[in-house]
Copies of this chain bind each other. A is one copy, B any other.
Amino acid sequence: MSTITNVQTYDLRFPTSSTLSGSDAMNKDPDYSSAYVVVSTDADDGLSGTGFVFTIGRGNDVVVAAIDSLAHTLVGRNVENLLDDMRAAWDMFVHDSQLRWLGPEKGVEHMAIGAVLSALWDLKAKRAGMPLWRLLAHMDPEELVATLDFRYLTDVLTPDEAVDMLRRGKDGLEEREAQLLKLGYPGYSTAAGWLGYSDEKMMAIAREETEVKGFKQIKLKVGQNLDDDLRRLGLARETIGPDVKLAVDANQVWDVPQAIDWINHFHDFDLEWVEEPTCPDDVLGHAAIQKAIDPIAVATGEQMQNRIMYKQYLQAGSFKVMQIDATRVAGPQEIVMEYLLANKFGVRVCPHAGGVGLCEAVCHFAMFDYLAVSGKWDDRVIEYVDNQHEYFVHPTEIRNGRYVAPTAPGSGVDMKLEAAQRYLYQG
């Protein structure tokens, strides 16, 4: 029997805008940031639960304020009761009848709830002595499904179907786990692609990422100037050759008609996908774009607000690549649901990652999916950027272009706070 004694937040902002790493057509000068939370207990094990929301600078304080405002609900609660019934923890926050007015289930409040629920799952995994991917993959299907919320989803997926899906996922799990531990999960690199880079810098990094680091896919930012895009895509394709995959990312700069026009200039580059062609809220707009640019695939998800939007993207055929994010939605339960939905519709998931802990966090869900849901990884990749990993206790490790499976207990997002503290925002 133990009790939650403290919920401590940190507003961490890394001055990445000074290097133009992270620059794209929409995000000119991001300062990669983390609204970071640590949940402490009075248990003898000394374990704490860690969660965070990734932002790109201004407004990180608002997310911290939202997490702080949830803290009083947690402090004083029995830890075992919480961790043994994560569905109740979800309901306590996501379905709080007053808080839901602030969303419902979207934006700052939803991401803050995600950080808190992620911290609880982190603690649960640490107590189980397992990395989160392994805890999720080995949970009994009924037990995992009992933590999930099917509200607004039963027109496409019921709890019984989800249990069946996870039961089927158990076939061959042990072999896949051995493969995962041996080979790691495929990654791809965005390092070369930032719009702020010269052609020479882009090509040099593209060569380094593929020939030296072993990535089998790279991604370039596009959408600021069509001539520049065509020139850069030509140079990139020439640099990496025909066998390395090439994706592009427009970061929501286009309206629907403009997206269709622009992307239809890209048919000669054998693109793996076009990411975020327009507003992430536009289910119908993406469906129109996907239809008009076929066979190029639309990809999106890093700013998808919740599972109800994913449901519609899948229903409408609005994308062919689903890009989940670790800190946009309400924590592991919603992310697991996203994977179940994708699997129901046979759509591949290639997670978004990048700054301050996103790589560390999201790989657990991709690995869970490989082990226990889709069982596939040949058509899947996790984004990778070499950003702020040195501030993590168990930083993401890339070997031959693949994510090494983390083995430390927990969700992998504990930071070295003594090293990061010089980036504590002073207001």
Contacts and interface: CB of A to CB of B under 8 A. Distances in A.
Interface of A: 26-31, 55-59, 61-63, 65-66, 69, 96-112, 151-155, 252, 255-258, 278-285, 288, 303, 305-306, 308-309, 311-312, 315-316
Contacts of A100: 26
A426 to B, nearest CB: 13
B102 A107 contact: yes
Contact of A58 (B63, B99, B106, B282): B99
26 contacts: A26-B97, A27-B98, A30-B97, A55-B102, A58-B69, A59-B69, A59-B99, A59-B102, A62-B66, A62-B108, A62-B112, A65-B65, A65-B66, A103-B107, A104-B252, A104-B279, A104-B280, A107-B109, A107-B110, A152-B256, A154-B255, A154-B256, A155-B285, A281-B309, A281-B312, A284-B316
Given A31-B98, A56-B101, A99-B58, A284 B283 contact: yes
A97 B20 CA distance: 13
A303 B104 contact: yes
A336 to B, nearest CB: 19
Report how many copies the assembly holds.
2
Nearest to A103: B107
Contacts of A26: 97, 100
Given A104-B279, A285-B312, 7 more contacts: A26-B100, A66-B108, A152-B255, A153-B255, A154-B255, A155-B255, A282-B311
Given A58-B96, A101-B56, A281 B306 contact: yes
Contacts of A258: 154
Nearest to A108: B108
Contacts of A283: 283-284, 312
Nearest to A26: B97
Given A255-B151, A281-B306, A315-B284, A102 B98 contact: no
Nearest to A30: B98
Given A65-B61, A283-B284, A108 B102 contact: yes
Contacts of A252: 104
Given A107-B107, A279-B152, A59 B101 contact: yes
A155 B59 contact: no
Nearest to A312: B284
A59 B98 contact: yes
Contacts of A303: 101, 104
B62 A29 contact: no
Contacts of A28: 97
Contact of A62 (B69, B152, B256, B308): B69
